Amino acid sequence: MRIAILSDIHSNLAAFEAVLADLQSQAVDHVVINGDVINGGPDPRECLDLARATGYTLLAGNHERYIRDYDLPVRPPEWASDLWKPSLWTVNQFSQAERAALHNLATTYHTDDLLVVHASPRHDQDSVFAITPQRELAAMFVDTPQTIIRSHNHIPQFRPWDGRMIVTTGAVGQPLDGNPWAKYAIAERKPQGWRVKHRVVIYDIETTVKRFHSSGYYEAAYPMSRLYLREVQLGTHHVVPFLRLHQQWLKADPQLSSEQAVKRFLEL
């Protein structure tokens, strides 16, 4: 049995279409779209519609939660910040009923010997790195099978743990491993257990760059859209490092605007 796992499309339609095309030659038996189809890019509706049209198993990630939870009676205060303009733009691409339908997405796919989950069963924002303590992994993955395939961190990785293997897939639409091409994984069941390989798919990045502007996303989500665009172009971390520095800068200068902060970050 061969299962393809693709994740973190982040509204990048050109990358998503390229991966789907590559899948046609891979003779897989099943496909799991492992969350974060939407948000952070110019084509959320098109990507979500395409994901549903494939008929593949579609799981929720943290970015689906951000968009569906916008309709909660009490919203997190940070939603009023310029830093959340990308998510607000995505919200506005869907009706309230369409956002509510995101609640119907499953959060895990599993067989007797395989678990697929966006981040971890504990929380959709859990991270796994080479230095993540084993006690943390034990809290994230309780009573899980030998092979765990997750996504969320956008960097392909194999992490052995307690006789198990935790595999993190790369990202389709927003790679952060230093290579901007789309990434996904294929798991194949062998007599000795699951074996996972990462795949790289070249796509027309310039098509996505143009969509940042022609869709209206770049202007509506500015200044954070500058960082998301550079992540697409370079395949390197911008948003998370910026957010960490931004918190420090605000302590020293509470009047620092988001636009000024992004400009400072890009000049580092």
pLDDT digits (tens, 9 = 90+) for 101-157: 999 999 999 999 999 999 999 999 999 999 999 999 999 999 999 999 999 999 999
pLDDT at 75 over 80: no
Predicted confidence at residue 74, as pLDDT, reads 78
Could you tell me if 128 and 166 are in contact, meaning their C-beta atoms sit under 8 angstroms apart? yes
Query: In 3D, which of 157, 147, 188 has the Cα closest to residue 27?
Result: 188
Could you tell me if 168 and 128 are in contact, meaning their C-beta atoms sit under 8 angstroms apart? yes
24-59 tens-digit pLDDT: 999 999 999 999 999 999 999 999 999 999 999 999
Predicted confidence at residue 182, as pLDDT, reads 98
Question: Which tokens hold the place of 122?
Answer: 């504990």
Cβ-based neighbour number of residue 224 at 10 Å:
24
Question: Which tokens hold the place of 112?
Answer: 């007797």
pTM for the whole structure: 0.96
Pairing of the two strands 147-150 and 114-117: parallel
Q: Residues 6 or more apart from 210 whose CB is under 8 A from it?
A: none
- Give the whole-angstrom CA distance, residue 29 versus residue 6: 14
pLDDT at 78 over 90: no
